Amino acid sequence: MLFAVIPAGGSGTRLWPLSRAGHPKFLHALTGTEASLLQATVDRLGPLTTPERTMVVTGAAHVAAVARQLTGLPEENILVEPSPRDSCAAIALAASVIAIREPSAVMGSFAADHLIGDPAAWVSTVRQAITGAEQGLLMTVGITPTRPETGYGYLQCGELIDGGPLRRVEEFKEKPATEVAQEYVRSGRYLWNASMFVWRVDVFLGELARQQPALHAGLTTIAQSWDTPEREDVLGAVWPTLPKISVDYAVMEGAAAAGRVATVPGDFGWNDVGDFDTLGEVLPADGSGNVVLGADTVEPKPGVLLRDCERLVVVPHSGRLVAALGVRDLIVVDTPDALLVCPRDRAQDVKKLVDELKERGAEDLV
Amino acid sequence: MLFAVIPAGGSGTRLWPLSRAGHPKFLHALTGTEASLLQATVDRLGPLTTPERTMVVTGAAHVAAVARQLTGLPEENILVEPSPRDSCAAIALAASVIAIREPSAVMGSFAADHLIGDPAAWVSTVRQAITGAEQGLLMTVGITPTRPETGYGYLQCGELIDGGPLRRVEEFKEKPATEVAQEYVRSGRYLWNASMFVWRVDVFLGELARQQPALHAGLTTIAQSWDTPEREDVLGAVWPTLPKISVDYAVMEGAAAAGRVATVPGDFGWNDVGDFDTLGEVLPADGSGNVVLGADTVEPKPGVLLRDCERLVVVPHSGRLVAALGVRDLIVVDTPDALLVCPRDRAQDVKKLVDELKERGAEDLV
């Protein structure tokens, strides 16, 4: 049975002012239901594993919130990063801890803050990836592209393995320019890299030792102390020395070059919920295309009053009435200490407002 | 010296959610300074009269707020309407109380919720109106129209009196259709009726007796009890029986037909601050045409963060940060319990939202 690892990091600045450094994206109910993205991620794993085999890796600032949202998870399965060291350290920590329990366990790593429209299709895809992992491949779930997106990395696919559905990954491609992305989509040979990985922990740690010996050595030291009274001391001493690097760049690119990475193309309504415009595309809308976040889960009063409005994305998150009249394609996010008004086609630039607030020294608002 | 009367009524529903039934337009600082519209109205009267000769007529619900805003006004000069009976009863009450003190005093009536861009020019115009009032005319200050506005009533002017600047008013015209308004403006014979009146109280009360005998009789009864212990009882008994009618309709139209009304054309940047779009036109804007209400009088933090915005009207009235990105010609009004987002060209329709809230039974929000 799968060990599931959920790296829960990232602040989601393009979802400001809802998402904050202190209460990031994965803790919010951006799912169209009462569940947070994190809770939905755990729920989705139901057919694949158990809470005892599910781990969350998160920052010290978010442990309490994660523990309260995931009441079914054993406490020891919430791994705390003493400081942010990017995804490779976080995932490798989980892999090392799993390896103590079960040295050749198959582990999957799934981001805490993505939406999956068709969870059953997702489970099938992950099951196919598990078969590849059991054969010793580093599996990455690729997403069949639906548009020439320039905001994602791509997987360049090679031959089918044993007639499919697994396919060799020849190369990881960084976020492309528009024309390049168009060519990728046209060719049919590229998938979006959603950073969902499935592998045997021994295979992954072997690749880590080969490509990132310093990281591997540090994590070996940490793992050796894990079930001893020294765990906190060792973690506190070693963790800050680990290289800050993403798992894609640290391990997967080199493993692909060595022919050790494969993918399963997935088509299950994946969305990384990067910004409010995206959220408006995936969540249920009313007859005029307006998406009101949490509209059917929060108290209807005072709620939202929309008149002659189309294609709004409204987040009424302060308990106040949000009234809009005669506007369209607009994002309105209402929180207890900050309000955002912005057209949907500028949703990406919300990050710039956050940057500006940081420059102003308004850290309490970011 | 003039007696000044300020009828302070009307809730300003097109300025919702800033203006509320419980805290109407005239109490708000919509002046570009810290002064409320009411305070600015009193300040403007400085060259014409004294606080001892200035009276406010307002509803019971607003007396306390008026008393606190106008600390220089003697308490007995705040006249309380036991219930709303429209402008004729309110103004006639003040005229009757003034007549007790000084039977042929000249009184001016000036709305509590208008903006005047050039107070010195306004004072000059009122002084000219006073000369007409002293001659026994019912004077109304007319505003030289700057556009074919269909939201105001008009004064149809006749001949100059003694070579000017006073002009006979032939007829009061209701709010016209667009073509009619265009013709009015083209002809040069029409002025906006701003409901600013100057007259001798004996002349006004005489016209009231002639045209509205019931109203006049009721107010005579009230006036007779004014300086006695029975004032409250009589007011409570008689006031609710008074006809609910505007002074324009009750007295001025008939007086004009009888040739007793004259006007002085005024050109002093008058604005009735009817809606947020109008407010955006008259208050100082930044280099991109954005008007932020109270921006230079409230604490700058958290304040407002505008990026790539043009011609916004922003009312940051909840203490929260208002952030807007890439929007133009929009109204954003942020109050502690309700938020409004609406294009400037729909500012008139804000009233419809208030109506809808009333239908919903959300009386606490209107």
Q: What is the pLDDT of residues A244-268, one digit of tens each?
A: 999 999 999 999 999 999 999 999 9
Residues 6+ apart with CB under 8 A from A13: A19, A350, A351, A354, A366
B301–A320 C-beta distance less than 8 A: no
On the question of pLDDT at B126 being above 70, the answer is yes
Q: In chain A, which ranges are continuous DSSP H helix? A: 37-44, 63-69, 86-101, 119-134, 178-187, 201-211, 213-225, 231-238, 247, 253-257, 276-282, 350-360
Report percent pLDDT > 90 for chain A.
86
A285 touches A314 (CB < 8 A):
no
Q: How far is B306 from chain A (nearest CA, A)?
A: 9
Those residues whose C-beta lies under 8 Å from the C-beta of residue A362, and which sit 6 or more positions away, are B301, B302, B321
Work out the angle between the directed axes of helices A119-134 and A37-44 (0-180°, nearest 10). Answer: 60
Angle between helix A213-225 and helix A86-101 axes, rounded to 10 deg: 40
pLDDT at B301 over 60: no
In chain A, which residue's Cα lies nearest the Cα of B320?
A337
Question: A-chain residues within 8 Å CB-CB of B308?
Answer: 346
DSSP annotation of B51: G
Sort out which chain B residues have CB atoms less than 8 A from A304's CB and list them. Answer: none
Q: So what's the pLDDT on residue A141?
A: 96
**High-pLDDT (> 90) share of chain B, %:** 86
pLDDT of residue B22: 87
Q: What is the mean pLDDT of residues A285-306?
A: 76
- Taking the alpha carbons at both ends of chain B, their separation in whole angstroms is 40
pLDDT surpassing 70 at residue A297: no
B346/A308 touch (CB, cutoff 8 Å), yes or no:
yes
Query: Mean pLDDT throughout A22-26?
Result: 92
User: Are A307 and B356 a contacting pair at CB < 8 A?
Assistant: yes
Contact across the interface for B346 and A324, Cβ inside 8 Å: no
Three-state SS at B7: strand
Confidence of residue B313 (pLDDT cuts 50, 70, 90): very high
CB contact burial A126-147 (16+ within 10 A = b; e otherwise): bebbbbbbeeebbbbbbbebee
Average pLDDT, chain A: 93
Pairing of strands A54-59, B261-266: unpaired
Tokens standing for A74? 């054993």
Give the separation between CA B11 and CA B366, rounded to whole angstroms. Answer: 9
Q: What is the pLDDT of residue A33?
A: 86
pLDDT at A295: 52
A276, A299, A311, A325, best to mutate vs chain B, most B CBs in 10 Å = A325
pLDDT at B297: 42
**B46/B30 Cα distance (integer angstroms):** 20
Position A11 confidence tier, pLDDT thresholds 50, 70, 90 = confident
Over chain B, what is the mean pLDDT? 93
User: Residue A302, preceding bond cis, omega within 30 degrees?
Assistant: yes
> Could you read off the pLDDT of A30-47 as tens digits, one per residue?
988 889 999 999 999 999
> What is the reported pLDDT for B298?
42
What pLDDT band is residue A148 in, cutting at 50, 70 and 90? very high
pLDDT (tens digit, 9 = 90+) per residue, B249-290? 999 999 999 999 999 999 999 998 889 999 999 898 999 999
User: What CA dihedral angle connects A46, A47, A52 and A54, to 10 degrees?
Assistant: -70
Residue B147: per-residue pLDDT: 92
Nearest chain A CA: its distance from B304 CA (Å): 10
> Taking a C-beta distance cutoff of 8 angstroms, is the pair B294, B29 a contact?
yes
- Tens-place pLDDT, residues A149-165: 998 999 999 999 998 89
Query: Span A13-18, mean pLDDT?
Result: 94
Q: Cα separation of A264 and A191, whole Å?
A: 9
Least confident window among A73-87, A266-280, A290-304 = A290-304
Alpha carbon of A14: minimum distance to chain B alpha carbons (Å): 12
The confidence score (pLDDT) of residue B302 equals 64
Candidates B323, B337, B341; nearest CB to A330: B341
CB-nearest to A323 from B301, B326, B340 is B340
Q: Which domains does chain B have, with CATH numbers?
A: 3-271 (3.90.550.10), 284-365 (no CATH)
Tokens in use for A131?
A: 């078969």
The pLDDT confidence band at residue B296, using thresholds 50, 70 and 90, is very low
> What crossing angle do the helices spanning B213-225 and B86-101 adopt, rounded to 10°?
40
Question: Cα angle at B262 between B266 and B10, to 5 degrees?
Answer: 65
Q: What is the pLDDT of residue B228?
A: 93
Verify whether the Cβ–Cβ distance A323 to B349 is below 8 Å: no
Q: Which residues contact B162 (CB under 8 A, 6 or more apart)?
A: none
Structure tokens at B227: 């300086």
Cβ pair B327:A326 closer than 8 A: no
CA gyration radius for chain A? 21
Distance from CA of B293 to the nearest CA of A (A): 16
- State the pLDDT at residue B101: 94
CA-nearest residue of chain A to B305? Answer: A353
Distance CA A219, CA A256 (A): 23
Give pLDDT tens digits for A157-193. 999 999 889 999 999 998 999 999 999 999 999 999 9
Q: CB B323 to CB A341 under 8 A? A: yes
Q: Which residue among B341, B350, B357 places its CB closest to the CB of A341?
A: B341
Is the per-residue pLDDT at A288 higher than 50? yes
Q: Which of A308, A330, A353 sits opposite B323 (nearest CB)?
A: A353
